[in-house]
Amino acid sequence: MVTFVDEVTLHLRAGKGGNGCVSVRREKFKPLGGPDGANGGDGGDVVLVADTNTTTLLSYHHSPHRAAGNGGFGMGDMRSGAQGEDLELPVPVGTVVKDPSGEVLVDMIEPGMRFVAAPGGRGGLGNAALSSPKRKAPGFALLGTPGWEGDVVLELKTVADVALVGFPSAGKSSLIATISAARPKIADYPFTTLHPNLGVVQAGDVRFTVADVPGLIEGASEGRGLGLEFLRHVERCTALVHVLDCATLEPGRDPLSDLEVIRAELGAYPVPEGQTPLLERPQVVVLNKIDVPEAEELAAFVRPDLEALGYRVFEISTVARKGLRELTFALGDIVEQHRKAAPAEPVKPRVVIRPKGSEKEFTVRVEGGTYGNVYRILGDKPVRWVQQTDFQNEEAVGFLADRLEKLGVEDELYRAGAVPGSTVVIGEGDAIVFDWEPSISSAAELIQAPRGTDPRLDQNRRRTSVERREQYHDRQDARAAQRAEAEELRRARRGEPEEDPS
């Protein structure tokens, strides 16, 4: 049974924005009440929150699909739709949020830190918000846009001041249980610890956190044993404590060889750019289990060799509680010196607001197709406008054409080589496809037509008087030609001579 998870893929879906409302105020003695359709509500966001009370990602391992609330639809009488409820997901402090390709989005190392992983969709405008002096009663409203939907990867990296490293069953869990209030699982078989355990230690005036991480074996940097699941939780620690078992009964093992294997694995593990390599951080050696007579003798034997290598060595016994006070105060001094030497928090940069009017809001990409070139329009605005359009409403389609023309889409299509009838696609993938007709120009505000219709899209156009007169003369000429041909055929059958046209 899985009890701890430090990496999980979340499938998130933000809330969809509510549609705007089409409504006209109808009240006795007020025949021209005007539009009163309200806006739809915005969709809810999915927010990740760094929570000190959360220590594992296990809940997201069992339930990886999470969704926020949708926005409510707008209603008549200027009643706006309800806002979609945000979904807050607590994650442990030290969680790294990545996209599926591995790019880091945010590192949540501070308690209370918030990150909007999936922004909700926008609510659509009602016809009251779309009205203007020239379009007094719009017969359409904008649809709500869908919220962001996709995957994010959560990777937990323990945040602690001191990490206890060593072989399995070296006594790391017993040590953290003795010097802090942590209660890890302790047993007499390897790999008892399957997930990091955090404990808070008070040494005089200094308080620091200690992490007990899964046991390390040879080849861990290549994934053996718990491998990377262990080493990932050592990245953020200030100091390392090598816990060496002086009472092991395994053949070929002794404190010096164990330390050599641990150092080799720590040196082979690549830390993220900008962090200090693991072997360059302060290190302390702890000779554990000296309550066993043979272990005490072995500790006294190897201590000079360890000190000759430059390590501070402590002989301890978690059972007899020997040497623990000296060890905790020494670790407290290391942590305090590191905190004093750490650079002060940099001044937060000033927020500079730059206008985006000069930036291009869309691009036109020419793609080859089976039946000719396809002109694909990419950009946040055009894609959002298409999502907001009700294509069952002619007036809404005309409004979309006006917006695209004012944005400069038609001019850019001309520059790209598009001609009337060319295939135009807005958005990536299988998006909305149009047969481009540049004759649809921006004049919707000046066109008088019933609500919900646009004469520019009406293909059943009435004929003018000149056109009717020309069609009448064409029919009369065709009838005269048919009569002349029939008369000529009749004379030929009777053998009568043809009439002299003179």
Q: Is 166 annotated as a binding residue?
A: yes
377 annotated ligand binder: no
User: Does the annotation flag 288 for ligand binding?
Assistant: yes
Residue 171 in marked binding region: yes
Give every CB contact of residue 408 below 8 A, 6+ residues apart in sequence: none
- Known binding residue 167? Answer is yes
Query: Is 465 annotated for ligand binding?
Result: no
Q: Was 439 annotated as part of a binding site?
A: no
Q: Please tell me whether 251 is known to bind a ligand.
A: no
Q: Does 267 show up as a binding residue in the annotation?
A: no
The answer on whether 213 is annotated among ligand-binding residues is yes
Contacts of 161 (CB under 8 A, 6+ apart): 208, 209, 210, 237, 238, 239, 331, 335, 338
The one-character DSSP state at 8 is: E
Residue 285 labeled ligand binder: no
The annotation status of 215 as a binding-site residue, yes or no, is yes
Is there a contact between 58 and 5 (Cβ–Cβ < 8 Å)? Answer: yes
User: Is 422 annotated to bind ligand?
Assistant: no
Residue whose C-alpha is closest to residue 225's, from 217, 236, 233:
217
Q: Is 174 annotated as a binding residue?
A: no
Least Cα distance to 196 among 220, 219, 162, 154 occurs for: 162
Flag whether 120 is marked binding.
no
Residue 290 annotated as binding site: yes
In angstroms, the CA 88 to CA 176 distance is 32
Q: 73-85 burial string, b = 16+ CB within 10 Å, else e?
A: bbbbebbbbbbbe
**What is the separation of C-alpha 401 from the centre of its chain, rounded to a whole number of angstroms?**
31
Residue in 23, 142, 18, 136 with CA at minimum distance from that of residue 78: 23
Q: Report which secondary-structure segment, H or E, holds 362.
A: none
User: Whats the size of the chain, residue-wise?
Assistant: 502
Residue 314 CB: number of other CB atoms within 10 A? 21
The response to whether 502 counts as a known ligand-binding position is no
CA dihedral 164, 165, 167, 170 (to 10 degrees): -20
Q: Determine if residue 170 is labeled as part of a ligand binding site.
A: yes
Q: Is 169 marked as binding a ligand?
A: yes
Residue 381 near residue 122, CB atoms below 8 Å: no
Is 65 annotated as contributing to ligand binding?
A: no
**How far is 37 from 145, CA to CA, in rounded Å?**
18
Is 172 assigned to a binding site?
yes
Q: Check whether 291 is labelled as a binding-site residue.
A: yes
Six-digit token string for 323: 């040497």
- Which residue ranges make up the annotated binding site for GTP? 166-173, 191-195, 212-215, 288-291, 317-319
Please state the residue numbers annotated as binding site.
Answer: 166-173, 191-195, 212-215, 288-291, 317-319
Residue ranges of the annotated binding site for Mg(2+) are: 173, 193
